[in-house]
């Protein structure tokens, strides 16, 4: 079945770039998403990318997609303390009734 | 434009009871998806409703059921509650092929 994997933790210094990685198994994935979850809160959509794209940039966020390796990354430039959160990668495939398949989330820790 | 709202925010039930969770979708969205998020894990897809019909279901038993109303709001019902049902229940609304799902803040259910 489909599976999405992420590292559980990432620690970076304030002001550095953060790169959060994700791998997925479903080759029919059409859209891939990054969501952010702060403690006790719901999921906030950060960005998404269509599977025929390689890269998408939105202000401090850059998404890279390597479809051959089924690898997705999220780069956050100039990481700030407000970026502390859990980041989830998710995919959807047209043959799965549009349900989202999620990774377990990467907790981003910011060091001063 | 109002976002996705869920009620109640917190709920405490005892094993064997029944619970109803509510979700109002974002204006213009005709699809509602429900997810269960256990502590420290990614969300798990429960089911999706599109124009009042169930449009896909995850690996959850029949005691998890739902409804969608003509105004596209939705309910999640869980019968015969078990301790393992304790989780954050998230509702997301969406519309269109991109399946961009916008989430509410969730309902935290505790089963004692």
Q: Is there a contact between B48 and B31 (Cβ–Cβ < 8 Å)?
A: yes
Give the separation between CA B85 and CA B30, rounded to whole angstroms: 27
- Which chain B residues have a beta carbon less than 8 Å from that of A101? 45
pLDDT of residue A99: 81
Residues of chain A with pLDDT under 50: none
pLDDT of residue A55: 95
Give the separation between CA A18 and CA A10, rounded to whole angstroms: 8
pLDDT of residue B77: 98
pLDDT of residue A97: 62
CB contact under 8 A, B33 and A48: no
Q: What is the pLDDT of residues A28-59, one digit of tens each?
A: 778 899 999 998 888 999 999 998 889 999 99
Q: How far is B98 from chain A (nearest CA, A)?
A: 7
When scoring A97, A101, A104, A107 by the number of chain B Cβ atoms within 10 A, the one with the most, hence best to mutate, is A97
The residues that bridge with B12 in the sheet, in sequence order, are: B110
Confidence grade of residue B98 (pLDDT, cut at 50, 70, 90): confident
Of B12, B25, B17, which is closest to residue B63 (Cα–Cα)? Answer: B17
CB contact under 8 A, A100 and B101: yes
Q: CB-based contact (8 Å) between A42 and chain B?
A: yes
Q: Is there a contact between B49 and B61 (Cβ–Cβ < 8 Å)?
A: no
CA torsion sign, B58 to A2 to B36 to B5?
Answer: negative
pLDDT at B96 over 90: no
Q: CB-based contact (8 Å) between A41 and chain B?
A: yes
Q: Largest alpha-carbon pair distance within chain A?
A: 45
Q: CB-based contact (8 Å) between A31 and chain B?
A: yes
Of A63, A107, A70, which is closest to residue A88 (Cα–Cα)? Answer: A107
pLDDT of residue A28: 78
């Amino acid at each position: 079945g489909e599976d999405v994997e992420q590292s559980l933790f990432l620690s970076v210094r304030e002001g550095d770039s953060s790169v959060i990685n994700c791998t997925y198994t479903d080759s029919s994935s059409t859209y891939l998403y990054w969501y952010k979850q702060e403690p006790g809160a719901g999921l906030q959509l950060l960005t998404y990318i269509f599977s025929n794209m390689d890269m998408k940039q939105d202000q401090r966020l850059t998404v890279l997609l390597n479809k051959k390796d089924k690898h997705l990354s999220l780069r956050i430039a100039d990481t700030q303390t407000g970026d502390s959160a859990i980041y989830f990668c998710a995919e959807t495939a047209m043959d799965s009734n549009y349900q989202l398949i999620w990774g377990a989330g990467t907790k981003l820790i910011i060091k001063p | 434009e109002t976002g996705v709202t869920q009620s109640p925010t917190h709920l405490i039930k005892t094993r064997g009871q029944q619970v109803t969770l509510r979700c109002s979708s974002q204006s213009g969205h005709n699809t509602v998806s429900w997810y269960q998020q256990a502590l420290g894990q990614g969300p798990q897809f429960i089911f999706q409703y599109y124009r009042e019909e169930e449009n896909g279901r995850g690996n959850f038993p029949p005691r998890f059921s739902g409804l969608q109303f003509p105004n596209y709001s939705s309910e999640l019902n869980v019968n015969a509650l078990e301790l393992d049902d304790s989780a954050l229940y998230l509702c997301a609304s969406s519309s269109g092929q991109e399946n961009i799902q916008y989430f509410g803040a969730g309902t935290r259910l505790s089963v004692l």
